[in-house]
Chains A and B, each alone.
Chain A
Amino acid sequence: MSTDMNVVHEMASKEYEWGFVTDIEEDRIPKGLSEDVIRLISAKKQEPEFMLEWRLNAYRYWSSQAKADAEPRWANVTFPPINYQGITYYSAPKQKKTLNSLEEVDPEILRTYEKLGIPLAEQKLLANVAVDAVFDSVSVATTFKAKLAEAGVIFCSFSEAVQKHPELVKKYLGSVVPHTDNFYAALNAAVFSDGSFVYVPKGVRCPMELSTYFRINAAETGQFERTLIVAEEGAYVSYLEGCTAPMRDENQLHAAVVELVALDNATIRYSTVQNWYPGDKNGKGGIYNFVTKRGKCLGRNSKISWTQVETGSAITWKYPSCILQGDNSVGEFYSVALTNNYQQADTGTKMIHLGKNTKSTIVSKGISAGHGQNTYRGMVKIMKGATGARNYTQCDSLLIGDKCGAHTFPYIEVKNASARMEHEAATSKIGEDQLFYLQQRGLKTEDAVSMIVSGFCKQVFKELPMEFAVEAQKLLAVSLEGSVG
């Protein structure tokens, strides 16, 4: 290995910066999962009967799946069996009463978010971004509520939505990702403790970016949040989620579900910057990020666009998908997934074309460094009625060093002869030639590497909201520190 490559290697092994733990009193329930635990969670959240029933249904299904040993094993990742009875399914910062304003949030938690660079005090916020902060199992603060309410937009924690808007929750919960969808989605449906809820009424363009910040803090807990976004006819909303977790030696499970519903002429943009703790450089610890995300373009001319930048987690298992039901609806998936050290990612999307003239675009950029294994898995399905459907898929892999891997599994199923499909794939390696060229012009090795990588990811970054694109680029540079060899 050359000295240049060594520098890159060191750069890629920089420490995870968000690995601290906040010392705070927790209200946590005993480890393990049973009907009693489900009832306890539901009771703690003072949920209406329909929610308890819904959870119990999901739990029974999950339980039968667990007995049948139906945990999905098809992904191109390896990990020891998860002991689902060894996890605590509910942990919340202890608080004496319901919060009425930000002043009542525990200052320790506020400090945690300050440290993460996400100030929750409204006046200090990035102009035009409303934040919902989820700490372990519960939402601790949602900002800019009043301003959003003026526009008629509901942006609150899932728990609050269950209390205040049960009719909307009842109507849409599980309508895109039913609890029977998969093993982790069933588990989430049974135990999910909070998350974000967004409702944008007819004809409203949400006046600001909405954002949720997820933070796992407690040890030996899982985080199971659920996000539901509904955009009524002609509505527009752009939503961003970010996530971090402390450094711990044991693996922690994160099994979230996100459901999006777009009605006629509605647009939802959903962006993720995922930076869960990836484990140390020997592969010890890190988050198992097993997430089900799906959007339904229910209405005509509706559009759902997923953009993800995945740099964290020990294992990522995630396929943000679109069901293109309405005629002329559009689904998009833009992804950058980076695996360094011993990280594994099996990620991609599903585009299910049902309506006429539906269109989907997939741009996936996988970066593997160190011993990282990066898999793109994507399905494009054109159903019988989807006359005039079109798909464009591009999946590119960039290898840094010679111990990592890039894998591509495209699935294409076409049942309508009028469909037009395009698929492009390329794999390249950051060569010493490229590095040397940039260095010869005066750029330092680390700047040269991040320039090459951000060039590779450009198509995806330009889909992110401005301030997050900058963030994502920085994150990528940090996550890469230490990876050529």
Chain B
Amino acid sequence: MSLLEIRNLHVSVGGNEILKGIDLTVNAGEVHSIMGPNGSGKSTLAQVLARRDAYQVTEGSILFEGKNLLEMKPEEAACEGLFLAFQYPVEIPGIGNTYFLRSALNAQRKHRGQDEMDAMDFLPMFREKLKLLEMDDKLMNRSLNEGFSGGEKKRNEILQMAVLEPKLAILDETDSGLDIDALRIVAQGVNSLRSPERAMVVVTHYQRLLNYIVPDFVHVLVDGRIVRSGGKELALELEEKGYSWTEHEPVGARA
């Protein structure tokens, strides 16, 4: 059984069809990259997978570990092991980062029938992950993302992913707004989380990120359709020829 199976997915927002029949299969251990120009539907796909309900699924199905993802609430999908690293992480004043993350972890553990983790067990694990992302402890005493720079916010997303250890992580334009050092650190964090049990879907506009996070498969999304799929070399080809090139080519083999 695949970890994620998307079949003929059609999605509309306010009557406009954004995704026009997506098929995608992701197995455990794989890293897939979804590339495409602005407005092609990349972020919509990420949000639909995370169960944001502003989007209407008009046709098709999504199975996550064989379960119908479209029947899950966002928190259920999260507890089942689906994680979205947001393109624009929100700020929430008055909620400590550490407190928030422990609450989230415990909500997920509870869902899985595990014991809640107390602060004594949580903190050593948490400190390890902080080190991995080269993040300052002090940041964690502040409110959730409040006053964080763009790069700090993105790193915080990956930190959360490292703590929550999802089965499927969707990274939505995690590279946007990152300088080269931050990009390296984020990628290092992501790479350390690659494992045979975990899959990742990396949504990006540029090929740059894929120099650091090397995907197993690359899919090109244009106007709501996957027009091409291939290996990591496809990303380089895209970078060289631009997205317009794909529009004149036949649809490639699907992963």
Contacts and interface: CB of A to CB of B under 8 A. Distances in A.
Nearest to A452: B92
B85 to A, nearest CB: 10
Nearest to A3: B53
Interface stretch (A62-70, A274-282, A286-294, A441-449): A441-449
B115 to A, nearest CB: 16
Nearest to B160: A441
Interface string B94-118: 1100001101110110010000000
Contacts, number: 76
B202 interface: no
Given A2-B53, A436-B52, A455-B95, A442 B84 contact: no
A455 B54 contact: no
A456 B143 CA distance: 11
A431 B92 CA distance: 10
Given A436-B52, A437-B90, A455-B94, A442 B107 contact: yes
A243 interface: no
Given A2-B54, A437-B86, A451-B103, A442 B75 contact: yes
Interface in A42-70: none
A473 to B, nearest CB: 12
A235 B92 CA distance: 40
A440 interface: yes
Interface in B142-193: 143-144, 160, 164
A2 B50 CA distance: 15
A459 B93 CA distance: 11
Contact of A437 (B53, B77, B89, B108): B89
Contacts of A442: 75, 78-79, 104-105, 107-108, 111, 164
B53 A4 contact: yes
B54 A451 contact: no
A439 B104 CA distance: 9
Given A433-B90, A447-B107, A451-B100, A440 B78 contact: yes
Contact of B73 (A434, A439, A457): A439
A436 B74 contact: yes
Interface residues of B, number: 31
A4 B76 CA distance: 13
A438 B105 CA distance: 11
A223 B61 CA distance: 61
Interface in B66-83: 73-75, 77-79, 83
Contact of B143 (A4, A444, A455): A455
A454 interface: yes
Contacts of A433: 90
B201 to A, nearest CB: 15
B104 A441 contact: yes
Contacts of A456: 93-94
B95 A452 contact: yes
Contacts of A437: 86, 89-90, 92
Given A436-B74, A443-B75, A454 B104 contact: no
A443 B90 contact: no
Contacts of A434: 90, 92
A439 B103 CA distance: 11
Nearest to B94: A455
Contacts of B53: 2-4
Nearest to A458: B94
| Highest count of chain B CB atoms <10 Å: which of A3, A438, A459 | A438
Contacts of A432: 54
Contacts of A459: 94
B25 to A, nearest CB: 23
Nearest to A461: B94
A432 B51 CA distance: 13
B144 to A, nearest CB: 8
B79 to A, nearest CB: 5
A2 B53 CA distance: 7
B92 A455 contact: yes
Nearest to A453: B94
Interface in A404-461: 431-434, 436-445, 447, 451-452, 454-459
A483 B33 CA distance: 40
Contacts of A447: 103, 107
Contacts of B107: 441-444, 447
Nearest to B80: A442
Contacts of B52: 436
A432 to B, nearest CB: 7
Contact of A443 (B83, B86, B93, B104): B104
| Highest count of chain B CB atoms <10 Å: which of A440, A444, A457 | A440
A397 to B, nearest CB: 13
Contacts of B92: 434, 437-438, 451-452, 455
A431 B91 CA distance: 11
A440 B50 contact: yes
Nearest to A398: B93
Contacts of A444: 75, 107
A23 to B, nearest CB: 42
A481 to B, nearest CB: 18
Contacts of B74: 4, 436, 439-440
Given A2-B54, A455-B143, A440 B84 contact: yes
A457 B108 contact: no
B38 to A, nearest CB: 20
| Highest count of chain B CB atoms <10 Å: which of A432, A440, A442, A443 | A442
B103 A443 contact: yes
Contacts of A441: 78, 100-101, 104, 107, 160, 164
A441 B103 CA distance: 9
A345 to B, nearest CB: 21
A437 B145 CA distance: 12
A434 B88 CA distance: 11
Nearest to B110: A442
Contacts of B83: 440
A439 B95 contact: no
Contacts of B164: 441-442
Contacts of B105: 442
30 contacts: A2-B54, A4-B53, A432-B54, A438-B100, A439-B73, A439-B75, A439-B78, A440-B74, A440-B77, A440-B78, A440-B83, A440-B86, A441-B78, A441-B100, A441-B101, A441-B104, A441-B107, A441-B160, A442-B105, A442-B108, A442-B111, A442-B164, A443-B107, A447-B103, A451-B92, A451-B103, A452-B92, A455-B93, A455-B95, A457-B94
Given A436-B74, A437-B92, A442-B105, 14 more contacts: A434-B90, A434-B92, A439-B75, A440-B78, A440-B84, A441-B100, A441-B104, A442-B75, A442-B79, A442-B104, A451-B92, A455-B95, A455-B143, A457-B94
